[in-house]
Chains A and B, each alone.
Chain A
Amino acid sequence: MIVASGLTKRYGDRVAVDRVSFTVRPGRVTGFLGPNGAGKSTTMRMVIGLDRPTEGSVTVDGIRYLDCPAPLRAVGALLEARALHPGRTAWAHLRWMAASNGIPASRVDEVLGMVGLEAVAGQRVGRFSLGMGQRLGIAAALLGDPPVVVLDEPVNGLDPEGIRWVRTLARDLAAEGRTVLVSSHLMAEMALTADHLIVIGRGRVLADLPTADFIAEHAASYVRVRTPQPAELAALLQRSGADVTRDGDELRVQGVDTAATGELAAGAGLVLHELGLVRSSLEDAFMTLTAGSVEFAAARPAEVTR
């Protein structure tokens, strides 16, 4: 279990993480979701004591990372894919890490096998592709067989197969009863991987809820109708209990489906120019939620027509 309370990191005037509090529970995958620059990495770095919080604290299973007797056995972390010396072999990299925490050397071969790198164990990691480096980072995270696993953007640089592999891995680790925190800036990826979401933007927690709730709450679909008689149709729909918003000759209807809308219009003899269901994507919901908190927002492109 990871518990952050009032966690704050300031760099001069810039607030990277702003009074963040959350609890990451064991037995499920918790997605740490936010746009780039939202403070995900800084928060994760504070979890394992690389950065010192300006205020607040974060503990892992009740103690600060710094106070863990053998930290690699308490928390496995993938922070940066390239937190390794390019001249060292994959095996040597894991070997020194194992030695530092009293983990037997045999475990090195074990985790190399788990991530599918045993064939290149003797190669210098400078020659590794981004994906191989990412796998080695994950092997390092699993080295101490830790009850808590923290993965910062683990699918970066992975091919689709690798992405699926990480997804399965995260879910399996959680199924074993471990605490799993996975960060991403991709909502779609998190929807597939995470059971629970912590959404962060501009250093603040914007949402902390089960993924299913997030989808139900934020990704509502609606019926779109275009008609030359919008006022009449809107009144008709509202009388039947629908929620209607009008924009010129277009109506956005929630609470009734396309069939019911069409039948209502036909019954009243109203002309329809268009009738369809619009599914709002999770990515849209995420964008909406974090819209005000994107650090470097691009100029909004012309409104996308659906």
Chain B
Amino acid sequence: MTAPALTAPRTAPAPAGGAGLPRALHAEWIKLWTVRSTGWSVAAMVALGAGLTTLVCALVAPDLAAGATGEPVGAFITWGLLFAQVTAVVLGALTVTAEYGTGMIRATLAATPRRGTVLAAKALVLSGTLFVAGVVTAVLGWLGGNAFLSAEGIGLSLGDDGMLRSLLGSGLYMAGLGLLAMAVGLLLRSTAAAVSVVLALVFLVGNLVMLLPGSLGEWLTKLMPGNAGSRIATPESFNPMLLDPWPGFAVFAAEVAVVLAVAAVAFGRRDA
């Protein structure tokens, strides 16, 4: 073991700016890409999303072309996102729950004591990453799936109604879902709990409310985050009951914003 070499040169005085948002963003960006779970999550999203879309298009293309299914072609072209969204939830939750699980949060808040700055940096880095990953996934799925659809003469081009919107919308929906998981993670401080709650909300509750009778069931179905938010990620939907893409996304964004706001207040008040 070496003796302490405390004659090491002192560093230059702090450049202006201090520990503000730009530096917090830089730090969060380094943090995100220096753990393996990020690479795995993003790779899983692309593989699942693009792979399953391609697969389902290959399987249904002949029937779709024959008009035997009664389903719109546009409902299949981003179909894999249905499964890929799990990875957005996991990555979003891990952004904060991994820090609570390991004690890292104390280092984070020691470096950037302003909690609002930490939260903003995390949200921007996460949503930016998920947006890009979501768009890439959707584009690859569209290219892959379209190869089979075009062979049957029912391919979708970027100019087709809602196609471009759903490619970009896939990124928006992934980003929103990640933020929702992050906010829930901030409130529950546990990876398992946060992932379970968000997945249950999106997959389970979102479908169960359809069973409620009358307009109550109809409106709850329209307003559940997964149902309202995901419509923007597909040119056409299997479920005609859903809100239109942009109104639906506005509802989803508002829901995410409310949960984020509650999480931000809790984050500011609770001890680390």
Q: Cβ of B18 and Cβ of A85 under 8 Å apart?
A: no
CB-CB contacts below 8 Å: B75-128 with A: 98-99, 102-107, 109-114
Chain B CB within 8 A of A37 CB: no
Chain B CB within 8 A of A180 CB: no
Q: Cβ of A72 and Cβ of B104 under 8 Å apart?
A: no
Q: Cβ of A87 and Cβ of B6 under 8 Å apart?
A: no
CA distance A176 to B104 in the complex (A): 30
Chain B CB within 8 A of A61 CB: no
Cβ–Cβ < 8 Å partners of B186 in chain A: none
CA distance A93 to B271 in the complex (A): 23
Chain B CB within 8 A of A83 CB: yes
**B27 partner, pick from A68, A100, A111, beta carbons under 8 A:** A100
Contact A114 B36, CB 8 Å, known A50-B106, A79-B110:
no
**A80 partner, pick from B2, B35, B103, B109, beta carbons under 8 A:** B103
Q: Cβ of A145 and Cβ of B271 under 8 Å apart?
A: no
Chain A CB within 8 A of B3 CB: yes
Query: What sequence of 0s and 1s flags, for each residue 147-171 of chain A, a beta carbon within 8 Å of any chain B beta carbon?
Result: 0000000000000011001001100
**A88 partner, pick from B19, B35, B113, beta carbons under 8 A:** B35
**A84 partner, pick from B17, B18, B23, B104, beta carbons under 8 A:** B104
A79 to chain B, nearest CB (A): 6
Query: What sequence of 0s and 1s flags, for each residue 97-127 of chain A, a beta carbon within 8 Å of any chain B beta carbon?
Result: 1011111100100110111100000000000
The B contact surface, by secondary structure, is loop
Chain B CB within 8 A of A86 CB: yes
Per the CB 8 Å criterion, the residue count for chain A at the interface is 54
Q: Cβ of B103 and Cβ of A89 under 8 Å apart?
A: no
Contact A69 B14, CB 8 Å, known A50-B271, A97-B111:
yes
Cβ–Cβ < 8 Å partners of B99 in chain A: 85
Contact A92 B34, CB 8 Å, known A50-B271, A102-B18, A173-B6:
yes
Chain B CB within 8 A of A222 CB: no
Cβ–Cβ < 8 Å partners of B111 in chain A: 71-72, 96-97, 100-101
**B107 partner, pick from A65, A66, A84, A168, beta carbons under 8 A:** A84
Q: Cβ of B271 and Cβ of A114 under 8 Å apart?
A: no
Cβ–Cβ < 8 Å partners of A85 in chain B: 31, 35, 98-99, 102, 104
Chain B CB within 8 A of A52 CB: yes
CA distance A117 to B259 in the complex (A): 42
**B19 partner, pick from A50, A52, A101, A104, beta carbons under 8 A:** A101
Contact A165 B34, CB 8 Å, known A65-B113, A71-B110, A71-B111:
no
Q: Residue on A with the closest CB to B109?
A: A50
CB-CB contacts below 8 Å: B12-42 with A: 12, 14-15, 17-19, 23-24, 26-28, 30-31, 34-37
B105 to chain A, nearest CB (A): 8
Cβ–Cβ < 8 Å partners of A87 in chain B: 35-37
CA distance A110 to B6 in the complex (A): 10
Q: Cβ of B34 and Cβ of A96 under 8 Å apart?
A: yes
Chain A CB within 8 A of B272 CB: yes
Chain B CB within 8 A of A70 CB: yes
CA distance A172 to B6 in the complex (A): 7
Chain A CB within 8 A of B68 CB: no
CB-CB contacts below 8 Å: B188-208 with A: none
Q: Cβ of A102 and Cβ of B107 under 8 Å apart?
A: no
Q: Cβ of A48 and Cβ of B19 under 8 Å apart?
A: no
Query: What sequence of 0s and 1s flags, for each residue 36-50 of chain A, a beta carbon within 8 Å of any chain B beta carbon?
Result: 000000000100111
Q: Cβ of B6 and Cβ of A169 under 8 Å apart?
A: yes
Cβ–Cβ < 8 Å partners of B14 in chain A: 69-70, 73, 101-102
Cβ–Cβ < 8 Å partners of A66 in chain B: 113-114
Chain B CB within 8 A of A95 CB: yes
Chain A CB within 8 A of B211 CB: no
Contact A49 B113, CB 8 Å, known A85-B98, A104-B12, A116-B2:
yes
Chain A CB within 8 A of B11 CB: yes
Cβ–Cβ < 8 Å partners of B15 in chain A: 102
Chain A CB within 8 A of B4 CB: yes
Q: Which of B12, B26, B102 has the most CB of A within 10 A?
A: B102
What are 5 pairs between A and B in contact, CB < 8 Å? A50-B106, A66-B114, A83-B107, A100-B19, A145-B10
11 other contacts beyond A45-B106, A51-B271, A82-B103, with CB at 8 A cut-off?
A: A52-B269, A72-B19, A83-B104, A85-B35, A85-B102, A96-B27, A99-B26, A101-B23, A110-B8, A169-B4, A173-B6
* Top 3 A-B residue pairs of the complex, sorted by shortest distance between their CB atoms: A69-B18, A100-B27, A92-B34
